[in-house]
């Protein structure tokens, strides 16, 4: 123990420096299976008293906790069962030898109870090892989910685990908890194994079992820490989900506000409009730093793009399960929400300030309209002509003002700015003088304006020759009109001529440029897809298309420039439409791919539901190719079949094609695909541990998947599997010779680790031969599967005149071997690698002056040849012939005649009791197993006594060569074995009777005429003494007549393969009977036997 503690401290110091990251790295502190195997030599003379009544209350947890620890709890239950068997052996040891004398029976029970204790501690150790793996997996999941930079509840649990690891590394813990329980379990386990170097300690084993798997144990601490990890992970997931919803809400609200402002065409509000708004917006110079509303919206749009990118990265990270998939995602989502808040603040500022500019200009227009009305009214009497003309212009302006109200904020603001200029001209006209010279000056000014208009129009290629002729006539006439009061009529006529000429110029310009009135709205709809410089051009030219009509007079001189810009911009939009729509579809497109469970290296099917929406104000008649990353899997599919789709949408492999795209259009498709999506890369098999009675093997499968999927795999291992379990989230099961597993796999390379247990992987056949001074044991070890470093442990109890010596044992085998001497017993251990189907042999020679043949201490079972003949050395002591002895010997032989008849009758009943009728399949039962052992003893005794009886019939002097005690012992053996055979038959009879009673009761309650035949057949077999056959038929009938409760019968004839604990109980009963025989016979007869 001191050596262990020294090693414990040294290694703990090393690992404290190495900073272990997994609790499993410290499992070396708890003995391994190899160490447990080496603790299996025969134990002789040790007290099992501490096992008597010993029990362990297993650690329990919630349903979720126990689900995670299913394998650990199964192993813990095995430990509890093995402790119960050790307790049973302790009771038998106490009954066999109340005084604790280490005779054969006492030593046999010592071997049994400590064997069970070793198995219990192995199972308990395995339970905690499996639990450590679960804890490490949960911690790894939590660490992977958390990543770096995050701080919260999850990091608190990881800090607690790190502290526990450090305490284990230091080899000390000041308070109860995980580290304290781990160190306590390690110390008690090592104390148990260390006791084998002197006197095996039953109390140490009981303490170790409680330290491992009781309600206050390492297993319970493992369950608690795993629960903390799971709760922290759930909390982190909830925080991520909450932040995801918060970020989506913030981004969506900001994007909605941006879309509203985009629709208002704020790029039309330039510095001119802001300047005209004057003091109304003088306070708008805020932290935003600019009154360029369009630029501010663009900045907000960039912020929203960054927020969406962060959100997308967070969502991608969360779904990918990469490192930090929750913690780092939380940080990204926090930043996304903050970015959305900044964008929303900027957009609110734009909304508020642009509305202020619009309101200021609108109020200025209304104020100017009122001013013009008052002025015109005051001038109407003094200058009715000028006032009338001004009133007509004001009425037209007010009609335009009303028509402008439904337009966007940008358009209204730009319109208000232009109206202020028009109203100023109206006010000036209303204020003008009414004299003929003033009218003449105004006509002359209009003629000059018309001339400038024509020159500008001609620069744009407009034909104004007709208008120029009119202008020449007006100019000539104007010079001939006198400045008298009666000339006003002629002047107004010339004014009308100028207006007509002006209309001619406008008509000619519209004939050439009028199509721009249709193209301009298209350009406005496509403004979002224009460059920044082009959008500024649109804002500049917007004033020429007020009210939807081209203002030729205002645009003259720039018409060609406007035409060239509009044609080029629309051509550019048309050219970029496919890429714009492609980006939009790929950004917003949805493809829900469902793959289901994917069999490894086999075909599987999936469905893809595709939705594409065009939320842009952009249409395109051609075809656009769209590649969604979610559909990459379809490129690797063996086939793709479209089940349903929109007419405009085409599907080819993983590519989509949309033709005839309309603004606001939606396009859907439902696609089925199939192929091999997960393929095996490498399969590695190895042996974890192996003995003759059980083995654990490991399979590691490396494979590659084309997408995230739930993967199913199975493998035939070549022999029947008792149990299978997976590592790190792998769900495994076994059926017959096949191991199967289901695991979550990510796109790319994956690895699955499976473990499975095999019962009786090595078939052991044994034969014995002996001479007067030597016993030779020959073993044949046949492996059903490939095993690495398998260990076969055997023990032989010898009846030698003196105990065998270590130097008198010779072992010949091509396997590694060890042997021990313990009193009159020899323990053997063979180890090495065995290939599947390989047979290894071993020959053991033991120097021994025989009293009786050796008997195997290992449980009887399929590992031993059923045809094995136990050699019974014939003892022929030369004794004086005494008349009284001869008389007693003859009397014994006369008793033998009747005893032989009874034995043969018992054998006949046994054969009939365990035979099966037509149509039934033979089942191996515990009752028959014990009966076969007794049957062999009967046959051995008959063989020995038949020789004596036959020889004495020919020559009475033969009796003189056999001792009286020898004959008495042989007869007693025969009687005991016969009774054991009859006991097996009686057990079968009672069991069959109970099964028939149950079947009859179910027939009465649930049966019909059709089901009555099965019960009748069972009763008939019972009457004929075929009890196994009767039991099988009754069981079948009961199965067909299951009532609502589904009651099942567990009886003494339970299958040995499925009810190992019944075999154990039967075996203990048989051992108890043997021990009673040995104990009751007396020391003298026992020694001679």
Strand order in the sheet with 816-822: 816-822, 825-834, 787-800, 850-856
In whole angstroms, give the CA distance from residue 606 to residue 672: 6
What share of residues in the chain are helix, strand, coil (percent, to 5)?
60, 20, 20
Burial of 33 (0-12, 13-18, 19+ CB in 10 A): middle
In whole angstroms, give the CA distance from residue 432 to residue 437: 11
For residues 72 and 153, membership in a common domain is answered with yes
CB 967 within 8 A of CB 948: yes
Number of Cβ atoms within 10 Å of the Cβ of 435: 13
Q: What local confidence, expressed as pLDDT, does residue 681 receive?
A: 93
Of 759, 776, 796, the residue at which a domain comes to its end is 759
DSSP state letter for 747: S
Q: What local confidence, expressed as pLDDT, does residue 336 receive?
A: 92
**Domain range enclosing 770:** 762-856
DSSP state letter for 638: S
Domain annotation covers residue 995 = yes
Domain annotation covers residue 1054 = yes
Q: What local confidence, expressed as pLDDT, does residue 705 receive?
A: 92
For residues 698 and 737, membership in a common domain is answered with yes
In whole angstroms, give the CA distance from residue 875 to residue 1088: 11
Tell how strand 774-783 and strand 839-847 pair up: antiparallel
Whether the full predicted model's pTM is greater than 0.75, yes or no, is: no
For residues 43 and 187, membership in a common domain is answered with yes
- The encoded tokens of residue 1014 equal 């099965």
Domain annotation covers residue 324 = no
**Nearest by Cα to 1037 from 992, 988, 989, 987:** 992
Tally of structural domains, the chain: 5
Q: Which residues contact 33 (CB under 8 A, 6 or more apart)?
A: 122, 126, 688, 689
For residues 607 and 741, membership in a common domain is answered with no
Domain annotation covers residue 929 = yes
| Backbone conformation region of residue 557, classed left if phi is above 0, alpha if psi is from -120 to 50, else beta | left
Domain annotation covers residue 587 = no
For residues 683 and 817, membership in a common domain is answered with no
**Nearest by Cα to 398 from 379, 374, 416, 380:** 416
Domain annotation covers residue 330 = no
For residues 822 and 924, membership in a common domain is answered with no
For residues 74 and 211, membership in a common domain is answered with yes
For residues 918 and 1057, membership in a common domain is answered with yes
CA distances to 411, 452, 478, 558 from 505, rounded to whole Å, are 27, 11, 21, 15
Q: What is the mean pLDDT of each run of 10 residues along the chain (1089 residues)?
A: 33 33 69 45 68 84 74 87 86 75 72 84 87 86 83 80 83 78 86 75 88 87 88 88 92 89 80 64 42 80 90 84 84 91 91 88 87 81 70 75 71 81 76 65 80 86 85 78 67 78 86 88 80 84 80 87 91 86 85 87 91 84 86 86 84 83 87 92 89 84 91 87 74 86 89 86 86 86 90 79 78 86 76 90 84 45 34 32 58 80 90 85 76 83 75 60 68 84 88 85 76 84 89 82 42 38 43 43 33
Domain annotation covers residue 505 = no
Q: What local confidence, expressed as pLDDT, does residue 1 receive?
A: 33
Tell how strand 709-716 and strand 597-599 pair up: parallel
- The encoded tokens of residue 1025 equal 């003494």
For residues 38 and 113, membership in a common domain is answered with yes
In whole angstroms, give the CA distance from residue 8 to residue 23: 15
Number of Cβ atoms within 10 Å of the Cβ of 192: 25
For residues 940 and 1059, membership in a common domain is answered with yes
Q: Which residues contact 141 (CB under 8 A, 6 or more apart)?
A: 229, 233
Strands (E), 784-858: 787-800, 809-813, 816-822, 825-834, 839-847, 850-856
Q: Which residues contact 576 (CB under 8 A, 6 or more apart)?
A: 529
For residues 29 and 133, membership in a common domain is answered with yes
Of 706, 724, 759, the residue at which a domain comes to its end is 759
Which helix (H) or strand (E) segment holds residue 439: the answer is helix 436-459
Residue 823, domain CATH: 2.60.40.1170
Of 233, 260, 282, the residue at which a domain comes to its end is 233
Dihedral sign for Cα atoms in the order 623, 626, 631, 633: positive
Domain annotation covers residue 364 = no
Residue 723, domain CATH: 2.60.40
Q: Which residues contact 607 (CB under 8 A, 6 or more apart)?
A: 593, 594, 670, 671, 672, 673
- The encoded tokens of residue 468 equal 């120029």
CB 626 within 8 A of CB 655: yes
For residues 60 and 94, membership in a common domain is answered with yes
Burial of 806 (0-12, 13-18, 19+ CB in 10 A): exposed
């Amino acid at each position: 123990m001191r050596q262990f503690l020294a090693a414990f401290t040294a290694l703990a110091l090393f690992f404290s420096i190495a900073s272990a990251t997994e609790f499993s790295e410290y499992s070396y502190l708890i003995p391994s299976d190899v160490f447990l195997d080496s603790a299996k030599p025969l134990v002789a003379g040790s007290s099992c008293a501490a096992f008597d009544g010993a029990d362990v209350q297993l650690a329990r947890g919630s349903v979720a906790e126990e689900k995670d620890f299913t394998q650990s709890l199964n192993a813990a239950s095995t430990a509890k069962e093995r402790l119960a068997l050790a307790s049973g052996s302790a009771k038998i040891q106490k009954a066999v030898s109340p005084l604790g004398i280490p005779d054969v029976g006492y030593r046999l029970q010592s071997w049994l109870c400590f064997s069970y204790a070793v198995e219990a501690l192995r199972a308990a150790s395995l339970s905690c090892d499996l639990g450590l793996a679960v804890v490490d997996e949960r911690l790894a999941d939590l660490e992977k989910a958390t990543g770096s930079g995050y701080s919260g509840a999850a990091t608190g649990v990881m800090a607690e685990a790190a502290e526990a690891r450090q305490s284990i590394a230091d080899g000390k813990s000041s308070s109860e908890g995980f580290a304290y329980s781990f160190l306590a379990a390690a110390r008690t386990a090592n104390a148990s194994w260390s006791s084998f170097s002197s006197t095996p300690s039953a109390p140490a084993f009981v303490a170790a079992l409680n330290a491992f798997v009781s309600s206050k144990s390492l297993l319970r601490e493992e369950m608690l820490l795993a629960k903390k990890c799971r709760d922290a992970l759930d909390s982190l997931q909830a925080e991520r989900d909450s932040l995801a919803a918060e970020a989506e809400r913030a981004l969506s609200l900001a994007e909605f506000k941006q879309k509203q402002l985009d629709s208002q065409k704020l790029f039309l509000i330039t510095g001119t409009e802001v300047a005209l708004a004057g003091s109304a917006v003088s306070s708008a110079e805020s932290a935003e730093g600019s009154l360029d509303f369009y630029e501010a919206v663009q900045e907000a749009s960039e912020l929203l793009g960054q927020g969406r990118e962060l959100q997308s990265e967070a969502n991608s990270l969360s779904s990918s399960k990469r490192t930090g998939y929750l913690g780092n995602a939380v940080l990204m989502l926090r930043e996304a929400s903050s970015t959305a808040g900044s964008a929303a603040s900027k957009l609110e500022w734009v909304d508020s300030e642009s509305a202020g500019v619009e309101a200021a200009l609108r109020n200025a227009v209304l104020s100017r309209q009122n001013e013009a009305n008052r002025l015109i009214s005051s001038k109407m009497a003094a200058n009715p002509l000028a006032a009338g003309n001004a009133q007509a212009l004001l009425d037209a302006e007010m009609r335009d003002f009303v028509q402008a109200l439904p337009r966007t904020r940008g358009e209204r603001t730009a319109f208000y700015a232009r109206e202020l200029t028009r109203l100023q001209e109206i006010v000036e006209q209303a204020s003008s003088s009414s004299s003929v010279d003033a009218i003449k000056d105004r006509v002359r000014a209009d003629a000059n304006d018309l001339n400038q208009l024509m020159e500008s129009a001609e620069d744009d290629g407009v034909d104004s020759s007709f208008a120029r002729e009119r202008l020449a006539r007006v100019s000539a006439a104007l010079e001939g009109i006198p400045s008298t009061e009666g000339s006003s009529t002629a002047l107004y006529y010339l004014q009308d001529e100028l207006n007509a000429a002006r209309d001619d110029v406008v008509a000619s310009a519209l004939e050439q440029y009028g199509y721009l009135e249709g193209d301009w709205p298209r350009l406005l709809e496509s403004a979002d897809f224009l460059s920044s410089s082009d959008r500024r051009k649109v804002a500049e030219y917007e004033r020429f298309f007020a009210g939807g009509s081209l203002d030729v007079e205002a645009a003259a001189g720039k018409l060609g420039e406007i035409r060239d810009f509009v044609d080029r911009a629309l051509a550019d939009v048309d050219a970029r439409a496919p890429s714009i729509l492609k980006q939009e579809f790929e950004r917003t497109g949805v493809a829900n791919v469902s793959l289901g469970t994917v069999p490894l290296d086999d075909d599987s099917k999936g469905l893809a539901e595709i939705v594409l929406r065009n939320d842009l104000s952009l249409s395109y008649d051609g075809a656009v190719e769209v590649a969604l990353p979610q559909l990459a899997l379809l490129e690797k599919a063996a086939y793709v079949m479209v089940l349903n789709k929109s007419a405009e949408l085409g599907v080819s492999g993983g590519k989509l094609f949309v033709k005839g795209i309309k603004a606001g259009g939606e396009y859907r498709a439902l696609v089925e695909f199939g192929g091999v999506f997960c393929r095996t890369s490498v399969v590695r098999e190895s042996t974890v541990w192996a003995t003759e009675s059980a083995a654990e093997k490991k399979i590691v499968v490396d494979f590659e998947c084309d997408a995230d999927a739930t993967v199913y795999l199975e493998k035939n291992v070549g022999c029947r599997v008792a149990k299978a379990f997976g590592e790190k989230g792998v769900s495994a099961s076994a059926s017959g010779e096949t191991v199967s597993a289901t695991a979550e796999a990510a796109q790319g390379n994956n690895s699955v680790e499976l473990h499975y247990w095999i019962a009786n992987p090595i078939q052991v056949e044994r034969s014995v031969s002996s001479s007067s001074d030597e016993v030779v044991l020959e073993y044949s070890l046949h492996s059903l599967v490939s095993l690495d470093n398998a260990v076969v442990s055997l023990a032989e109890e010898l009846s030698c005149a003196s105990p065998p010596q270590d130097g008198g044992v010779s072992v010949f085998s091509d396997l590694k071997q060890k042997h021990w001497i313990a009193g009159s017993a020899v323990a053997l251990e063979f180890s090495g690698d065995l290939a599947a189907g390989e047979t290894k042999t071993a020959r053991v020679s033991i120097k021994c002056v025989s009293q009786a043949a050796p008997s195997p201490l290992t449980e009887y079972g399929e590992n031993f040849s059923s045809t094995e003949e136990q050699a019974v050395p014939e003892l022929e002591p030369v004794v004086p012939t005494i008349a009284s002895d001869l008389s007693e010997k003859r009397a014994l032989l006369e008793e033998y005649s009747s005893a032989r008849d009874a034995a043969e009758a018992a054998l006949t009943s046994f054969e009939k009791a365990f035979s099966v009728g037509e149509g039934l399949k033979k089942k191996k039962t515990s009752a028959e197993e014990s009966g076969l052992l007794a049957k062999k003893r009967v046959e051995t005794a008959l063989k020995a006594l038949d020789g004596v009886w036959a020889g004495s019939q020919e020559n009475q002097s033969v009796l003189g060569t056999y001792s009286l005690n020898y004959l008495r012992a042989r007869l007693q053996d025969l009687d005991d074995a016969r009774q054991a055979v009859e006991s097996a038959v009686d057990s079968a009879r009672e069991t069959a009777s109970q099964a028939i009673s149950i079947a009859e009761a179910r027939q009465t309650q649930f049966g019909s005429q059709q089901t009555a035949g099965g019960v009748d057949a069972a009763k008939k077999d019972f009457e004929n003494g075929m009890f196994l056959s009767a039991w099988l038929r009754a069981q079948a009938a009961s199965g067909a007549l299951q009532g609502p409760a589904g009651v099942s019968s567990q009886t003494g004839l339970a299958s040995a393969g499925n009810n190992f604990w019944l075999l154990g109980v039967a075996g203990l009963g048989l051992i108890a009977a043997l021990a009673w025989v040995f104990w009751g016979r007396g020391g003298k007869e026992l020694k001679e036997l």
